[in-house]
């Protein structure tokens, strides 16, 4: 019964999400569409982080660095190798997937805070690494695709013409990020409900019990990091397009990793439905907090207070709260179907 209700709730939420994504740009200004497009990038990356932390129980503080890998893959392939920016998105995901696999190797022997520190070191070192290899990454100046690859940057020259429709650049980027996000969230939904998802949850709940059941703990830990790396890489690739086709080491400092963790926790670890809400939270709440007061440090205080309030009032995150809201409706629909 509960499983059927969860599935029904998931389907209802997915249908509502698709409808909302389709109609929302008609109500948004051009600037707001750009902000929502940026939230879509975070949404994709947070889904990947949720697979590692929410479903396998591995703490990762390095997903902002994996976004940087995807972002620079797109920037380098577009600026230096002549590829169109949209074609580089899956390639960026694959390169970040390899980086995620490498990041997950310490998980074979580390767990808890020790693993968190290992991934933290990767996030902290990433800006310095990007500056170190300046011949490839542009160093501290970064890579500006708007100047170096204008003809290969979709939407940079003005409106985008797609299937007989003419879209403003920011509307196109909104549909691109959230469209890819919905597809990848659907893939994640199928993944966590299959054999792989059951193995992930077994590792999260008890590594000893999972090992005694014949589950290869090391394999599934590193696989979770690799899959999440793909999601982070795609999110990072799209982030370049949304950020005016520019990327630099300062774009992906450690605070990006911290924001993704906040988004995953606020959205509700282990809840795919809440990841979109978590992404919107980290995109808009800091801006809202900054508008409340211009005093030094005040925006950080307001943002931190908002996080604490959500955790106290909604311990299951925004996704858990959403599930409670939809449960009466899905229960009623299930009862009528019988």
Question: What does the block give as tokens for 96?
Answer: 């970040």
**Higher pLDDT among residues 313 and 125, named by residue:** 125
Asked whether the beta carbons of 279 and 265 are under 8 A apart, the reply is: no
The predicted model scores a pTM of 0.89
Mean pLDDT within 232-258: 90
Three-state secondary structure call for residue 143: strand
Q: What is the DSSP string of 141-153?
A: G-EEHHHHSGGGS
Q: What's the sign of the alpha-carbon dihedral 69, 204, 196, 276? A: negative
For the chain, the structural domain boundaries read 2-337
Reply yes or no on whether the pLDDT at 338 is more than 60.
no
Q: Which residues pair with 335 in a beta bridge?
A: none
Instruction: For domain 2-337, give the fold.
Output: ABC transporter involved in vitamin B12 uptake, BtuC (1.10.3470)
Of the candidates 72, 63, 57, 87, the residue with the CA atom closest to the CA atom of residue 230: 63
Asked whether the beta carbons of 96 and 69 are under 8 A apart, the reply is: yes
Of the candidates 176, 205, 174, 188, the residue with the CA atom closest to the CA atom of residue 47: 188
**Tell me, what's the pLDDT at 72?**
95
- Alpha-carbon radius of gyration of the chain: 20
Summarised one tens digit per residue, pLDDT across range 81-139 is 878 888 999 999 999 999 999 998 888 887 778 888 889 999 999 999 999 888 888 88
**Tell me, what's the pLDDT at 337?**
47
**Tell me, what's the pLDDT at 151?**
61
Neighbours of 7 (CB within 10 A): 14
**Tell me, what's the pLDDT at 161?**
65
Going from the C-alpha of 303 to that of each of 149, 257, 264, the distances in angstroms are 37, 16, 15
Mean pLDDT within 207-215: 86
Q: What angle do CA 326, 328, 331 make, to 5 degrees?
A: 105
Going from the C-alpha of 117 to that of each of 98, 107, 112, 317, the distances in angstroms are 20, 11, 9, 25
Through-space distance between the first and last CA atoms of the chain, rounded to whole angstroms: 11
Reply yes or no on whether the pLDDT at 290 is more than 90.
no
Reply yes or no on whether the pLDDT at 163 is more than 80.
no
Of the candidates 235, 181, 184, the residue with the CA atom closest to the CA atom of residue 68: 235
Distance CA 107, CA 124 (A): 18
**Tell me, what's the pLDDT at 149?**
58
Mean pLDDT within 301-311: 79
Phi, psi for 143 (deg, rounded to 5): -125, 125
CB-facing half-sphere around the CA of 122: CA atoms within 13 A: 24
pLDDT, averaged across the chain = 83
Summarised one tens digit per residue, pLDDT across range 132-162 is 888 888 888 888 877 665 666 676 656 676 6
Reply yes or no on whether the pLDDT at 45 is more than 70.
yes
Asked whether the beta carbons of 152 and 83 are under 8 A apart, the reply is: yes
Phi, psi for 166 (deg, rounded to 5): -110, 120
Reply yes or no on whether the pLDDT at 177 is more than 90.
yes
Q: How many percent of the chain have pLDDT more than 90? A: 30
Q: Name the one residue in this structure whose structure tokens are 């972002």.
A: 71
* Range among 99-108, 283-292, 303-312 with highest mean pLDDT value: 99-108
């Amino acid at each position: 019964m509960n499983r059927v209700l969860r599935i029904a709730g998931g389907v209802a939420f997915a249908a509502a999400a698709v409808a909302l994504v389709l109609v929302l740009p008609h109500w948004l200004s051009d600037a707001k569409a750009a902000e929502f497009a940026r939230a879509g990038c975070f949404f994709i990356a947070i889904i990947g982080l949720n697979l590692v932390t929410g479903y396998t129980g591995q703490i990762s503080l390095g997903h902002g660095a994996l976004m940087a890998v995807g972002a620079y893959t797109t920037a380098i392939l577009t600026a230096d190798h002549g590829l169109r920016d949209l074609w580089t998105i899956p390639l960026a995901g694959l390169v970040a997937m390899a980086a995620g696999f490498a990041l997950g190797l310490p998980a074979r022997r580390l767990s808890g805070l020790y693993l968190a520190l290992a991934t933290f070191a990767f996030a902290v070192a990433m800006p310095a690494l990007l500056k170190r290899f300046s011949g490839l990454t542009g160093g501290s100046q970064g890579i500006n695709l708007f100047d170096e690859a204008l003809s290969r940057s979709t939407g940079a020259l003005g409106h985008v013409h797609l299937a007989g429709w003419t879209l403003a650049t920011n509307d196109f980027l909104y549909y691109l990020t959230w469209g890819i996000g919905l597809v990848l969230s659907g893939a994640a939904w199928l993944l966590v409900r299959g054999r792989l998802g059951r193995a992930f949850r077994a590792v999260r709940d008890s590594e000893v019990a999972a090992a005694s059941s014949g589950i290869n703990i090391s394999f599934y830990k590193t696989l979770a990091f690799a899959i999440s790396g793909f999601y982070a890489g795609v999110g990072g690739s799209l982030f370049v397009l949304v950020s005016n086709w520019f990327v630099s080491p300062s774009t992906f400092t450690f605070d990006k990793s911290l924001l993704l963790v906040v988004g995953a926790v606020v959205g509700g670890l282990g809840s795919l439905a809440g990841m979109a809400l978590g992404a919107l939270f980290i995109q808009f709440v800091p801006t809202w907090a900054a508008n409340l007061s211009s005093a030094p440090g005040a925006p950080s205080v307001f943002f931190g207070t908002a996080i604490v309030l959500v955790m106290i009032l909604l311990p299951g995150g925004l996704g858990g709260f959403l599930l409670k809201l939809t449960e009466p409706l899905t229960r009623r629909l299930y009862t009528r179907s019988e």
